[in-house]
Amino acid sequence: MRDSPFKNRLTTLRVGDPVRLAGPFGSLTLPLDRARAIVLIAGGIGVTPFVSISRQAEHDQRNQRILILYSNRRPEDAAYLSELTQRAQRNSHIALVATMTGMERSTRRWDGERSRVDTALLARLTEGFPQALYFIAGPPEMVDAIQQAAQRLGVADDAIRSEEFFGY
C-alpha cells in the first residue's frame, strides 16, 4: 500500500534468504477478566491486533462487551472492514463503529460516521461502557490524541493500553 523502508527491504529478498523475526510483543491481548468491557480504537492498519482479538473473543464465545471504533480516511483504505462488519452483525456482544475522515477523496458511498476520534465522539460512543479497558493502536499522533481524550473522560491510565504503528 505504501512505500516504506521495511517493504522496500522485503522486495529485495529471494526465496530461501534467511530472515530473523522476533515477537509477537505487546499488551493488546484479551484480558482474563471477562466481565470488564473492552473498547478497541484503531486508526488504519492499527486494526490488525483488534481483528485477532475479535476473532478470539468470538471463537471463545465470550459474552464480554466489545466496542471496536475504527477510523480511516476512506472505505477503500479500511482493511478488514467487511470482516469486522460481519462479525458485529452476527455477534451481539461486539459492536463496530467505523468513521471515515476523508470521504471527499472516496469513490464509494459512506453513510456512517465521518468525524475524527475526539473527546466528543469517544464520550458519545462509550457512554454505556463504564470501567472499560481501552486498547488504542494506530499512527503515533492519533494514539496520543485518543489517550488524552480518554483521560479527559476520566479513564484511568492503567485502563489504557496502546501501541503505535510506524511507517507500515
Q: Going residue by residue through the chain (168 aa), what tens digit of pLDDT does each one get?
A: 567 787 888 889 999 999 888 766 777 888 888 999 999 999 999 999 999 999 999 999 999 999 999 999 999 999 999 999 999 999 999 999 999 999 999 999 999 999 999 999 999 999 988 899 999 999 999 999 999 999 999 999 999 999 988 755
pLDDT at 7: 80
Rounded Cα distance, 155 and 148, in Å: 9
Residue 26 lies in a domain: no
Instruction: Please state the domain count of the chain.
Output: 1
What are the respective helix, strand and coil percentages of the chain, to the nearest 5? Answer: 40, 20, 45
Domain that holds residue 66: 33-164
In a domain, 1, yes or no: no
Give the pLDDT of residue 101.
Answer: 96
For residues 100 and 104, give the distance between their C-alpha atoms in angstroms, rounded to a whole number: 10
In a domain, 109, yes or no: yes
Residue 1 has a pLDDT of: 53
- Burial pattern 105-114, b for ≥16 Cβ within 10 A else e, equals eeeeeeeebe
| Rg (alpha carbons) of the chain, rounded to whole number | 17
Q: Cis (ω within 30 of 0) for the bond into 24? A: yes
Q: What is the pTM of this model?
A: 0.85
